[in-house]
Amino acid sequence: QVHLQESGPGLVKPSETLSLACTVSGASVGGSSSYWGWIRVPPGKGLEWIATIYGGGTTFFNPSLKSRAGISIDTSKNHFSLRLTSVTASDTAVYYCVKNLPHSSGWAWGLWGQGTLVTVSS
Amino acid sequence: YVLTQPPSVSVGPGQTATITCGGRNIGGQSVHWYQKKPRQAPVLVVYNDGDRPSGIPDRFSGSNSGNTATLTISRVEAGDEADYYCQVWDSSSDVVFGGGTQLTVL
């Protein structure tokens, strides 16, 4: 049974960097055919994809966030991380880490973490 | 790439709910659907247009053709009340979500 758990600060100051980690249990983040990602839900709004990383290290970003977002894998800790620089209040959201459903086309996100609320405020 | 969903759909219990997702030539892409309830993580209910993940009841089904994909929920229950989102992978934008549809069970 694969399980995802987000961790990181719940409060970030404007202009600073948001950093979150997703600890994976039951699977290897470095495994082939696995895609790992981050999706957020701002208060009162819909789902917004942020970034995806393939187990081999290839990365993909939402064009609107690409200039500020980074995603990486740490196989020694079996986790993957999100960095979002120069945050503003509009980055306030519940952030979810996700894993694709094997054998799905076009990244169906079959596994989600419980989510972590990040508030951007001074 | 833009996916268009109706903001809201309302049905009575036991009836059939139909939620659409419009996009240019969406029939040529794989569409996935998620259920999002308040204070809960989203749940994948349909993937690859019409397949169901393990544990999802067969009341949930999907289809996709032309410029419209459809999520159908048969024999709607009170517990199906949620926001539903469609999603595709697009070559220029990678992951794209629709704006979401609020399903109300009357």
Which pLDDT score, from 0 to 100, does residue A103 have?
81
Which pLDDT score, from 0 to 100, does residue A106 have?
80
- Chain A residues in contact with B86 by the CB 8 A cut-off are none
- Chain B residues in contact with A2 by the CB 8 A cut-off are none
Q: What is the pLDDT along chain B (106 residues), one digit of tens a residue?
A: 999 999 999 999 999 999 999 999 999 999 999 999 999 999 999 999 999 999 999 999 999 999 999 999 999 999 999 999 999 988 877 899 999 999 999 9
Neighbours of B15 (CB within 10 A): 13
Flag if A112 and B99 touch (Cβ within 8 Å): no
Report d(CA B73, CA B60) in Å as an integer: 5
Share of chain A above pLDDT 70, in %: 100
Which pLDDT score, from 0 to 100, does residue A56 have?
80
Flag if B93 and A109 touch (Cβ within 8 Å): no
Which pLDDT score, from 0 to 100, does residue A40 have?
98
Q: Determine the average pLDDT of the residues in A83-89.
A: 98
Flag if A47 and B97 touch (Cβ within 8 Å): yes
User: DSSP 3-state helix, strand, coil percentages of chain A (rounded to 5)?
Assistant: 0, 50, 50
Does B25 contact chain A (CB < 8 Å)?
no
- Chain B residues in contact with A104 by the CB 8 A cut-off are 30, 32, 47-48
Residue with tokens 């470095």, as numbered in its chain: A30
Which pLDDT score, from 0 to 100, does residue A105 have?
83
